[in-house]
Amino acid sequence: MFARKWFYKLGPMIKGSLRFRFFLLILLAVLPGVLLVTYSIIAKQQVGVSAVILILLSSIFALWLDGHALILNNYRSLVELAKRHSSGDLTARSSPNDSSGIFAELAQSFDHMADSLEQHMGKLQRLANKRETVDQIVNELTVQHDLGTLLPLIVDKVSILLDTSFAVIALYDAARSELEIAAVNGLQVPERTRIRMGEGAIGRAAETRQPFLVERYDLWEGRLPEFERYGLRSVLQVPMIHRDQLIGVLSAAEISPMRKFDESDILLMKLIAGTAASAISNTRLFEETHRRLQELETINAVSRVSRVAQSLDEMLPILLEKTMSAVNAIMGSIWLYNPAEERLHPIVTNGIPPLTTSIKPGEGMIGTVFSSAQPHFTPDWREDRLTSDSLRTRIPKGLSGAFIPIRTTWSTIGVLHVGFRSPHELLEHQKNILMTITEMAGNTIQRAQLHEQTKRQLERLSTLRQIDTAITSSLDIDNIFQILIDQVVTRLGVDAACVWVANSKQQTLEFAANRGFRTDALRSTRLRFGEGYAGQVILDQGTIYIPDLKTRYMNYLRSESFDEEGFVSYLAVPLTAKSQVQGVLEIFHRSTLKPDPEWMDFLEALASQAAIVAGYSRLLEDLRRSNIDLNLAYDSTLEGWARALEVRDQETKGHSQRVAEMTMRLAKSMGIPESDLIQIHRGALLHDIGKLGVADSILLKAGPLDDAEKEIMQRHPILAFELLSSIAHLRSALDIPYSHHEKWDGTGYPRGLKGENIPLSARIFAIVDVWDALTSDRPYRKAWSREEALVYIRDQAGKHFDPQVVDAFLSLIDSEVADGMGAETNPN
């Protein structure tokens, strides 16, 4: 009992696991003494061993029972504490006197764990609360469709969510590359304050498109003067980006040194900025869509009024009302010009009485707009310089206005005026809707003054215009004829038509174009003058009209299959231009055709244009023949020049013709366009034309030339250029005469051109020229063999010659050898 009391008295004084070890030490220290005393008692008293053992066991059991009770109590306390924690009661803590030793350590561990969990749960709860707030903000932003409401709502929510003093939204103006303050909370910064990209914290975030945090804004060198007076301590800027497009910058600022923005604030701002960017974009889209819908509704209403109204008196008041409503005007008027009086009159007014009964063109605001046919927008109608002095005092103060000319296709017929309370800035889309409405009004008035016959005439004039455009913009006669014949069938409402062109030399009609036929019989047909209906038209130069072909059968002198067409009515008109019949236009219909005078007039107009096309056809054919003859004459002349040069220079006899032919073959093999080949051929023929300016003593010298003579000889490309450049027709052929002595590596003459700076035609000719020279006899050497010449040309690839042209030349030589054409350019 003493040991037990002593243990309980000392136990609480010993902490942790030391208390358990101390208990074991006491037990081990006391137990030997107890055993010794027990042995002495047994020896003296001669007590039975069994009794002694019973006493010892009883003492040990009592001691164990006391210790077990102590452990069990502590264990139950810990279990109860754990249960309270697991049930969610993180405020539960162990009692300082409830346990001792290792159980006390366990209890303290439980307390520390509860403290940590309680802190983390608090953070999680705060985050959850913010997340719920963000969700609420997102929901509120997404339902807004008005920027005037949305932007202040965003800055208010930012201030609440981040618990900060100030918040700002700056929207990006792509046209000016600037940011404009659009909404503020807590600051007195004027809205529409502009900030350039890269300036200040807002401009920096916009330029980098990354969050930008300034912890000590009051010490930051990049701060803007507009924000100096607010004593900002720290600022956080986050760009608003939607679909990779910068919308603006969302800003939060704080003046308290105790409030510092951290990563969680940046995360929240990025989340809000993304939502705000999407909401702003969607709102803009909604507003634009709504605005366009209103414009379309206005235009549709104006159009509907224009269609339904029976007169201008009925239509114009409704037109003015719809226009004023579209731009929120408080007044308006429509003025129309009276040509007989040469004055403008107010036909209808709304919201303001007429200031005068009439105005001359050029007089005052309305007269000036009418005369200039240009719109005018004024912020102050009364004080505007265009306002006439006689009307200035009658105009109420504080009115702005828009004055738009009302125009038709040909002229200005009036002026539309709408007015507003000043100050009022007319937006661009409002100006556009006014322009659209006035155009519609002009067209409506024009349509009211025209009747159905005029419309038909306009359609037919449009057809003639299309044909005329085709005639004046194209030299493709076949295409022009097809356009014309398509318009004939479509506009005249017939089943088929064809055009014949007269060949006066052969006295025949030749097929030009057709449409609507089931067979191709006409394409292979040629009629002599006087044969068939078309032949009669050529001779008589008059129109033939047959309502029913069955009553006046005549052999068409065409294929038998032509009868399968099933035509009933027929009409043919001569194509006459400048008192000459150029051809015949035939009309076919598979039912009875009854043309009226208006239809016949239009047919005559179409026939006149067909005659022009036929005349152009004959003229172009004559021009083609003349051009061929002229080209042949040019080529003959050039060949004569080349032969004259060869007569002078006996060592190059036949050289020009050979190299010209082989150059053409090589150019064709390299895919040179056909249109360029003729100039290459001419250049090849004239490649040594400059030698006409070289003295015979040098040109005909049998031995090698000295340096001075070489210098003179090397001037012959320059002489060729001087000779040919003055001949316009041969300028395109100058590349070979001027550049065929240039070398790929730049060591040639006369200009030292290098690589692809040398014209391609000259690079092609250079190889052929050397090939012919090497394989021809010269007074100072014998011709080289084919193999020797090919080895030399291969060796000069990349030096003298273009490597790609060398490859093409070698392929040409191989192919010509394989085809049996021979590889030598010089037959000798």
The model's pLDDT over 793-821, given as tens digits with 9 standing for 90+, comes to 999 999 999 999 999 999 999 888 766 65
The top-scoring range by mean pLDDT among 44-48, 143-147, 364-368, 602-606 is 364-368
pLDDT above 70 covers what percent of the chain?
73
For the cut 90, the answer to whether the pLDDT of residue 49 exceeds it is: no
More confident residue, 113 or 502: 502
Task: Determine which of 85-89, 213-217, 654-658 has the lowest per-residue pLDDT on average.
Answer: 85-89
Give the per-residue pLDDT at 248.
93
Cite the DSSP H helix spans in 564-706. Answer: 597-648, 655-669, 674-685, 696-699
For the cut 80, the answer to whether the pLDDT of residue 336 exceeds it is: yes
Give the per-residue pLDDT at 616.
72
Mean pLDDT of the chain: 79
188 φ/ψ angles, rounded to the nearest 5 degrees: -105, 25
More confident residue, 797 or 440: 797
More confident residue, 778 or 26: 778
Q: Does pTM surpass 0.85?
A: no
Q: What pLDDT band is residue 108 in, cutting at 50, 70 and 90?
A: low
> Rounded to 10 degrees, what is the CA torsion of 445, 446, 448, 453?
180
Q: How far apart are CA 422 and CA 438, in angstroms?
A: 23
Q: What pLDDT band is residue 296 in, cutting at 50, 70 and 90?
A: confident
Task: Determine which of 267-271, 546-550, 821-825 has the lowest per-residue pLDDT on average.
Answer: 821-825
For the cut 90, the answer to whether the pLDDT of residue 714 exceeds it is: no
Q: How far apart are CA 759 and CA 746, in angstroms?
A: 13
Give the per-residue pLDDT at 821.
57
C-alpha neighbours within 13 Å on the C-beta side of residue 396: 14
Give the per-residue pLDDT at 452.
45
More confident residue, 133 or 590: 590
745 and 772 Cβ atoms separated by less than 8 Å: no
428 and 340 Cβ atoms separated by less than 8 Å: no
C-alpha 235: how far from its chain's center?
Answer: 38
For the cut 80, the answer to whether the pLDDT of residue 262 exceeds it is: yes
Q: How much is the average pLDDT of 719-729?
A: 82
Amino acid, single-letter form, for residue 195: I
Amino acid, single-letter form, for residue 673: P
For the cut 70, the answer to whether the pLDDT of residue 85 exceeds it is: no
* Six-digit token string for 96: 């300082």
pLDDT above 90 covers what percent of the chain?
21
For the cut 80, the answer to whether the pLDDT of residue 112 exceeds it is: no
More confident residue, 7 or 642: 642
More confident residue, 50 or 741: 741
Cite the DSSP H helix spans in 543-596. Answer: none
Q: At CB < 8 A and 24+ separation, what contacts does 116-124 make?
A: 117/85, 117/90, 118/90, 118/91, 121/90
- Measured CA to CA in angstroms, residue 610 lies from 77, 444, 555, 597 at distances of 116, 36, 26, 20
Amino acid, single-letter form, for residue 45: Q
More confident residue, 1 or 154: 154
Write out the DSSP string of 91-158: T----TTS--THHHHHHHHHHHHHHHHHHHHHHHHHHHHHHHHHHHHHHHHHT---HHHHHHHHHHHH
Q: What pLDDT band is residue 14 in, cutting at 50, 70 and 90?
A: very low
Give the per-residue pLDDT at 667.
93
Where would I find the beta strands (DSSP E) of 516-629? Answer: 526-528, 544-546, 569-577, 580-589
For the cut 60, the answer to whether the pLDDT of residue 12 exceeds it is: no
For the cut 90, the answer to whether the pLDDT of residue 415 exceeds it is: yes
More confident residue, 577 or 191: 577
* First-last CA distance in the chain: 146
Give the per-residue pLDDT at 281.
87
Give the per-residue pLDDT at 368.
94
140 and 153 Cβ atoms separated by less than 8 Å: yes
Neighbours of 81 (CB within 10 A): 22
Pick the closest to residue 352 from 338, 337, 335 (CA basis): 335
For the cut 60, the answer to whether the pLDDT of residue 20 exceeds it is: no
Task: Determine which of 134-143, 330-339, 380-389, 704-713 has the lowest per-residue pLDDT on average.
Answer: 134-143
Which domains are present in the chain? 1-143 (no CATH), 145-289 (3.30.450.40), 311-448 (3.30.450.40), 455-620 (3.30.450.40), 649-818 (1.10.3210.10)
540 φ/ψ angles, rounded to the nearest 5 degrees: -85, -20
For the cut 50, the answer to whether the pLDDT of residue 17 exceeds it is: no
Give the per-residue pLDDT at 595.
85
Is the peptide bond preceding residue 547 cis, with omega within 30 degrees of 0?
no
Give the per-residue pLDDT at 131.
64
The model's pLDDT over 633-683, given as tens digits with 9 standing for 90+, comes to 666 666 666 666 666 565 556 788 888 899 999 999 999 998 889 889 888
For the cut 50, the answer to whether the pLDDT of residue 465 exceeds it is: yes
C-alpha 178: how far from its chain's center?
Answer: 23
Q: At CB < 8 A and 24+ separation, what contacts does 507-513 make?
A: 509/534, 509/535, 509/538, 509/583, 509/584, 512/477, 512/478, 512/481, 512/583, 512/614, 512/617, 513/478, 513/481, 513/482, 513/484, 513/485
777 φ/ψ angles, rounded to the nearest 5 degrees: -70, 140
For the cut 90, the answer to whether the pLDDT of residue 427 exceeds it is: no
Q: What pLDDT band is residue 15 in, cutting at 50, 70 and 90?
A: very low
Sign of CA dihedral 299, 303, 306, 308: negative
For the cut 80, the answer to whether the pLDDT of residue 155 exceeds it is: yes
Amino acid, single-letter form, for residue 114: A
Q: What pLDDT band is residue 5 in, cutting at 50, 70 and 90?
A: very low
Give the per-residue pLDDT at 115.
64
For the cut 70, the answer to whether the pLDDT of residue 411 exceeds it is: yes
- Measured CA to CA in angstroms, residue 368 lies from 387, 406, 418 at distances of 9, 13, 16
Give the per-residue pLDDT at 825.
47
Q: How much is the average pLDDT of 726-751?
A: 89
Give the per-residue pLDDT at 25.
53
C-alpha 689: how far from its chain's center?
Answer: 53
Q: How much is the average pLDDT of 288-295?
A: 77
The model's pLDDT over 386-395, given as tens digits with 9 standing for 90+, comes to 988 888 888 8
Return the CA Rg of the chain: 53
The top-scoring range by mean pLDDT among 473-482, 537-546, 575-584 is 537-546
Q: In terms of C-beta density within 10 A (0-12 exposed, 13-18 middle, 19 or more buried), how is residue 277 classed?
A: buried
Place of tokens 């030589």: 813
- Measured CA to CA in angstroms, residue 306 lies from 313, 336, 437, 454 at distances of 11, 16, 11, 19
Q: What pLDDT band is residue 525 in, cutting at 50, 70 and 90?
A: confident
In eight-state DSSP terms, residue 357 is S
